[in-house]
Structures are given as structure tokens and as C-alpha cells.
Chain A
Amino acid sequence: MSHLEIQQINKSFGVNTVLNDVTFSVEEAEFVALLGPSGSGKSTLFRIIGGISQPSSGSVNLNGENINGKRGSISYTPQTSSLMPWRTILDNVLLGQEITGNRDVEKALQMIERAGLKGFEQSYPHELSGGMQQRASFIRSILSPQSLILLDEPFSALDEFTRLDMQKWLLSIWSEYKRSILFVTHNIEEAIFLADRIIVLSSRPATVKKEFTIPFARPRDEAILLSDSFLQWKKRIYQEMREQ
């Protein structure tokens, strides 16, 4: 039943306005990418949606219910690797469930296997590569009970090849579990390849500059990355981002 509505969110730190009248929505089981230059306030927006920071004005609604300042309604994966170094991969993946009450070890083991992390259940995060760690954090989100997942630049630290693999993996898991995803990135290609809809934020103070609905059919194949229409989209969005 996830349906997120961001209504006229403003946020300033002192005299410094970061978010200015940000309004958009995420439909149920939709994959929305939030595209904006560095420092535009994407992480700040996530903190507001997650309820750990209050907007100066405006409201965040989930399923019609106001969740301003209310925690625990979304599942969040921070920008940096966010696994707890003292927990094994299995325990890390179960953390989201642990907070809300019940651990489902069986399912967690299944998911770990699907993520190609079989054999690493009892390893500690530092024994895994960056890509593997990100996969584990994402499994943690999928296993958490919340229906809306916020991903803050999960792949920004990965190289081009790993990144593409991870994107394909993310799409396959998402199509199976059908959660709503709000995905922050400043990589245009990544946004087009992954999302149903792209929301372009301006640089500071951030407002919603434009929304694009991406028409590529699912399941998406990496071949579309080289197609003409993909390049056309890339051009359009790039121009949109360049104009100030």
C-alpha cells in the first residue's frame, strides 16, 4: 500500500535554504530515481522522509498518513557502506527484522544465496568487497518489513562493471519483491536504466525541476544502454540538468 507523497517540503539550516518547495510522489511498487547535483540536498530529503529530521514546512505522507518526524516507516540504506562491522553478514541482514521484532533466518539465508553471498553468512563485512557489502545492505532492506525502500547512492563507490552487474541484480530482485524504491543518484545513465520515473532536482536550493517518465519496457536488458533512444534520453536529461 505504499504511496509516498512529498508535499511542498522546505528545509533551511539557518539562513541556508537547502530544499525549496519540493513536491513529488512515489506510487506503489514504483522505482523512482532522484537525480541531482552533489550537495543539492538529496540526503537531507531522505533524512526528512525517514523522520530523523523535521522539514521547516511541508508534509510527508505515506498511504495518506502524515509521517513528519515519525520513524520506522521506511527502510533506508545510507550512502556509505552501512553494515555493522561487528555483526556477521547473516546478523547484519537480519538487523532490520530484529528491530521490528521477528527474525526469519530461513528467508535470510535464501536471500543471501540469491545475492551470490553463499558461504559468507558467517563472515564479517570487512572480509567482503564493496559490491558484496552493498548487496548485503540491500538484502537487509528487502527483508525489512517496510514497503518503501530509500537507497542513497548505493553504487557510487563501485567501478563501472561491478556497477552494471549490481544494477541488473537490483532490478531482478526488485521485480520479484515489488517494493517501492526511491533511489538517489547523480549518474544519469543509472537513473534511466533503473527507474520508471526520474525526478530532476536543481542545485541549491533544490526544487523539482522536471519529471521524466521512462518508457523502456521491463525486464530491461543491458543492450538498451547502447540504443539510440537511450542516448536521446540521456541527452534530454543532461540538457535539463545543465540549464540553470
Chain B
Amino acid sequence: MRKLFQKGWRPALVLILLFIIWETCTNIFDIQKWLLPAPSQIIAEAISGWAVYSGHLASTIKLIIFGFSIGSSIGVVVAIGLHLVPILRQAFYPLLIISQNIPTIVLAPLLVIWFGFGMLPKIIVITLVCFFPITIALLDGFRQTNRDLMHYMQMAGATKKQIFWKLEFPHALPSLFSGLKISATYSVMGAVISEWLGASKGIGVYMTLASSSFRTDRVFVAIFLIVILSLLFFSLIVGLEKRLIKWKPKEEGANESS
């Protein structure tokens, strides 16, 4: 906790300063509330409007958890599949890379046409944005398996299964987590985008409603909620990583290869 404070006080100070400048500017230049509300107004709305957006928030969180779990599971399964079957890897890897040039948002209307406005198209959108960083990171982790360790395992007569579970998978675990961290933030974005497509509930919906009625303060509340959600999911993954990967040297910059 003290460490967090030591590292965190500088950016926190900058943020506070920024808010103060913002607050004074809106006052001095007398900016309309519907154009740019002051931070104090946004905070007031965030507190008094809890009842308005709490339902939306819960719905989005549920969507994120669902989508992220499904998306990352698919990502892991795809990576393991491609890794274990080299022919599949050669066939699909380039396609996988190309597929990432399709912005998810242009696929969204198609998904709505095919699957309607229910949960399914939303989950698909989140899955699409989630699985790619995980698959690529995990595949990379598998590929970078230490050659000396590999030789040791092979000479010791390890089977393919033993090599995978005792060497390749644990070796790729840190890579998997860097993929998961990216996907965690992407999944929040994916959830909001998918809610814009059409939903009855969710932060995305709350945001659209707010902007169409010029409740700019609520738009900002939504933005802050999204940022907070992203940070929360991100730190959840970081926490999990810290619990699972205890074997990394503590100090930054210290190499574990000696």
C-alpha cells in the first residue's frame, strides 16, 4: 500500500491539477453545462444519479464477465490447437492476422442482422476483440520456449504431452497474462460498443440516452465509469498473475536467466 502511494502520488497530483484547471476554466469562461460540465457537476451527478445508472452498470459488468470468459477461453483453446497442430498453424496464422484488420464495429451491424438484439451478438463482439491478443501472446510464448530446456526434456524421453504441460505451458504463462491484460481492457470497450448496437440496458445505452438528451454530465459519468471498469478488470488480472506466477524475480530489470 505504501509502495502504491509512493509510485502513485505524482500521476495523482497531475490528475488533481488537471481537474482544478478544468473546473476554473468552466467557471471563468462560463461554459454551458450541456457543452462541458465542470468536474464538480459530474461528481454530483455521479453521486445523485446512482439509482439511474446502477442497473446499467450491473448489466455491463455481467456482459463483460461473460464475454471475457468466453473470449479468453476460446483464445487459449485456439492458441493451444494451433500450437499442437503445425499444419493448422501454418494455415490459420496468416488469416488470423488479416482478420484483425477488420474493425469490429463494421461487423456489428451484420451480427445484429444474423443474431438479433439479444445477448449473443454482444458476446460475439467481445469474443472477437478478446481472443486475438490472447491467441497471439500465447502462441508467441509457446514459440519462445527455451531451447536448452526443450533439449533436456526431449533427451530425458518426455512425451509430447509431458513437454507441453511441464515445459511449454508454464513457460508461456507470463505471455498468456500479457494477452489477458490487453483483452481485459478491450473487453470493456467491446461491451460498450456492442451495447450501442441496441440493447435495453448497459453503460453504452445509458451513454446514448444521455447524449441524445444533451445530458453531457451523464456522458462524462459514463466515460469515467468505463475507465474505472477497465482499470478494475486490469488490476484483477494483474492480481491473479501475481498469485499464479511467483517464480519471477521481484526486482524489475533482473533477468531470471543466469
Q: Which residues of A contact B (CB under 8 A)?
A: 47, 50-52, 71-82, 84-87, 95-96, 98-100, 124-126, 130, 133, 144, 146, 150, 157
Q: Is the CB of B247 within 8 A of A85?
A: yes
Q: Is the CB of A71 within 8 A of B155?
A: yes
Contact of B256 among A47, A126, A144 (CB under 8 A): A126
- Cα–Cα distance between A170 and B256 once the two chains are bound (Å): 25
Closest Cβ of chain A to B214, distance in Å, is 55
Query: Can you list 9 residue pairs at the A/B interface with Cβ under 8 Å?
Result: A50-B155, A72-B157, A79-B148, A84-B166, A84-B167, A84-B170, A99-B153, A125-B256, A126-B256
Q: Is the CB of B152 within 8 A of A78?
A: yes
Whether A99 contacts B162 in the complex (CB less than 8 A), given A71-B157, A76-B155, comes out as: yes
Closest Cβ of chain A to B124, distance in Å, is 35
Q: Is the CB of B157 within 8 A of A100?
A: yes
Whether A86 contacts B173 in the complex (CB less than 8 A), given A76-B156, A99-B156, comes out as: yes
Q: Which residues of B contact A124 (CB under 8 A)?
A: 246-247
With both beta carbons as reference points, the residue of chain B lying nearest to A77 in the complex is identified as B152
Q: Is the CB of A126 within 8 A of B258?
A: yes
Looking at chain A's contact residues, the main secondary structure is loop
Q: Which residues of A contact B171 (CB under 8 A)?
A: 86
Contact of A47 among B151, B249, B258 (CB under 8 A): B151
Q: Is the CB of A82 within 8 A of B152?
A: yes
Q: Is the CB of B249 within 8 A of A126?
A: yes
The listed residue with most B CB atoms (<10 A of its CB), out of A52, A73, A99, is A99
Whether A72 contacts B155 in the complex (CB less than 8 A), given A86-B173, A133-B258, comes out as: yes
Whether A52 contacts B247 in the complex (CB less than 8 A), given A81-B258, A96-B156, A98-B166, comes out as: no
B40 touches A (CB below 8 Å): no
Q: Is the CB of B149 within 8 A of A73?
A: no
Chain B: interface residue total (CB-CB under 8 A):
25
Closest Cβ of chain A to B132, distance in Å, is 26
Q: Is the CB of B151 within 8 A of A76?
A: yes
Interface residues of B in 119-161 (CB under 8 A from A): 148-149, 151-158
B257 touches A (CB below 8 Å): yes
Q: Which residues of A contact B249 (CB under 8 A)?
A: 126
- Cα–Cα distance between A4 and B45 once the two chains are bound (Å): 81
Closest Cβ of chain A to B26, distance in Å, is 53
Q: Which 3 A-B pairs have the closest CB atoms?
A: A72-B157, A50-B155, A78-B148
Closest Cβ of chain B to A50, distance in Å, is 3
Closest Cβ of chain B to A23, distance in Å, is 22
- Cα–Cα distance between A150 and B156 once the two chains are bound (Å): 11
Contact of B151 among A52, A84, A98 (CB under 8 A): A52
With both beta carbons as reference points, the residue of chain B lying nearest to A157 in the complex is identified as B258
- Cα–Cα distance between A125 and B252 once the two chains are bound (Å): 17
- Cα–Cα distance between A228 and B201 once the two chains are bound (Å): 90
With both beta carbons as reference points, the residue of chain B lying nearest to A76 in the complex is identified as B155
Q: Which residues of B contact A144 (CB under 8 A)?
A: 156
Closest Cβ of chain B to A49, distance in Å, is 9
With both beta carbons as reference points, the residue of chain B lying nearest to A127 in the complex is identified as B249
B245 touches A (CB below 8 Å): yes
Q: Which residues of A contact B166 (CB under 8 A)?
A: 84, 95, 98-99
- Cα–Cα distance between A80 and B150 once the two chains are bound (Å): 12
Closest Cβ of chain A to B182, distance in Å, is 22
Q: Is the CB of B155 within 8 A of A130?
A: no
- Cα–Cα distance between A80 and B148 once the two chains are bound (Å): 7
Q: Which residues of B contact A87 (CB under 8 A)?
A: 247
- Cα–Cα distance between A32 and B14 once the two chains are bound (Å): 67
The listed residue with most A CB atoms (<10 A of its CB), out of B152, B245, B254, B256, is B152
- Cα–Cα distance between A147 and B104 once the two chains are bound (Å): 58
Closest Cβ of chain A to B193, distance in Å, is 37
Q: Which residues of B contact A74 (CB under 8 A)?
A: 155
Q: Is the CB of A99 within 8 A of B258?
A: no
Contact of A84 among B149, B155, B257 (CB under 8 A): B149
Q: Is the CB of B257 within 8 A of A99?
A: no
Contact of A50 among B154, B245, B248 (CB under 8 A): B154
